[in-house]
Amino acid sequence: MRPSLAPLLLLLLAVCFPAVCALSHVEELKSQERLFLSSLGLSGRPRPAGGLQPRRHVPSALWKMFRRSENTQAQESDPCTVSEYGVRGNIIRYVQDQGRLVSGWSSCQLCVEKQLFFNMSVLQPVELLSLAQLEIKFHWKAFSPAELLQGPRALSVSLYKVIRATLRGANPQANRRLLLSQSVQLQPHPASITLDLTPLAESWRKAGRNYGLLLELLPLSAHPDQLLSFHPGNSLPLDAAFNLPLVQASLVAVSLNPHQCRSRQRRSAVHLPVTPSNVCKARRLFIDFKDVGWQDWIIAPQGYMANYCNGECPFPLSESLNGTNHAILQTLVHSLDPHGTPQPCCVPIRLSPISMLYYDNNDNVVLRHYQDMVVDECGCR
């Protein structure tokens, strides 16, 4: 990827002692890794939290989009439009909620409050945010079979944006604005609410401007007397009479990196000829992410057909070798003086992207089209 580093490495190998060389080789590998990661927008190599905790589940909608982008027909479509959402974009993130359950300063007596916080600094400044959609899922399980028979369970849900930090003693209601208020029926299968928060999420990208959201849940019951089991003043009604749902919130952020919008069209690299020949052409190479030790943060693919260019650029340079005028003259000079002037180099002249599904440094799941990953055509340059 960075041919300029290779001669440097060779030079180092040639002049230094073996121990020093091993060290500088490790340094080289690390710097190559950093380059690759930074072009994915990652500050460092994502590591699983603790190793014991299970990694965040990959939402089925993202898997679907990933599978679709692998499909060759989809590759001819516009690489910078996300048709699932009907917006421009080439990066899709499931930004994880980092808010906590709050209690103590709760302003309502019978309800539960949950803070929602989405770190929008994970977007690089160059990215244009086209969509931020909040998804709140309520996973509810009846405490006992009897509870299911007691009729429908419902929650009154209010969502607020927090406009500034609340100081101790201040009225928390003054610092928030209502965004949504509705009731949600709790059923054995998860209920969900979605809400477009694009302008708000855009404002969260500015440093120090993100105070998050506040979710207020008030259990509603068909039988008003059941509400009595929630003790006034206790903001966590964990009474057995009503099993609270597990609340999961995520923000689907679709953004566009305008520098990565080249077409995804590719000549089928799968049909590379296997006939032995030492003339410059693309050769098959499968890269397994396990071999480079990245299997713990790249979710999919586990590897891919990357290919490489290899072979001679002999005189006379045939048209199929895609030589530049300069390369044609260089082969001519090489044929006259083989020791003074080398042959032109066999290099990639057409590359295509792949789609990658991975965890970022905040454990968010990200799907993006990553450019220049596959060699489609080689030429003499």
Ligand X SMILES: *[C@@H]1O[C@H](CO)[C@@H](O)[C@H](O)[C@H]1NC(C)=O
The end-to-end CA distance of the chain, in Å, is 15
Q: Return the structure tokens found at 67.
A: 């599978």
CA angle 196, 202, 205 (to 5 degrees): 135
Provide, rounded to whole angstroms, the least separation between the CB of residue 21 and ligand X: 35
Which of 28/377 has CB closer to ligand X? Answer: 377
Whole-angstrom Cα distance, residue 92 to residue 213? Answer: 21
User: Please, which residues have CB within 8 angstroms of residue 239's CB and are 6 or more apart in sequence?
Assistant: 229, 230, 231
Phi, psi of 300 (to 5 degrees): -160, 145
Nearer to ligand X, 210 or 235 (CB): 210
Report how far residue 317's alpha carbon sits from residue 300's, in angstroms, rounded to the nearest whole number: 40
130 or 322: CB nearest ligand X:
322
Smallest distance from ligand X to CB 43, Å: 6
Task: Give whichever of 42 and 155 is closer to ligand X, judged by the CB atom.
Answer: 42
By the criterion CB under 6 A, which residues form the site for ligand X? 119, 121-122, 320, 322, 349, 361-362, 377
Min separation Cβ 319 and ligand X, Å? 7
CB-based burial, 14-34: b 16+ in 10 Å, e otherwise: eeeeeeeeeeeeeeeeeeeee
Tell me the closest approach of the beta carbon of residue 321 to ligand X, in angstroms. Answer: 7
Nearer to ligand X, 301 or 311 (CB): 311
User: Least CB distance from residue 60 to ligand X, whole Å?
Assistant: 25
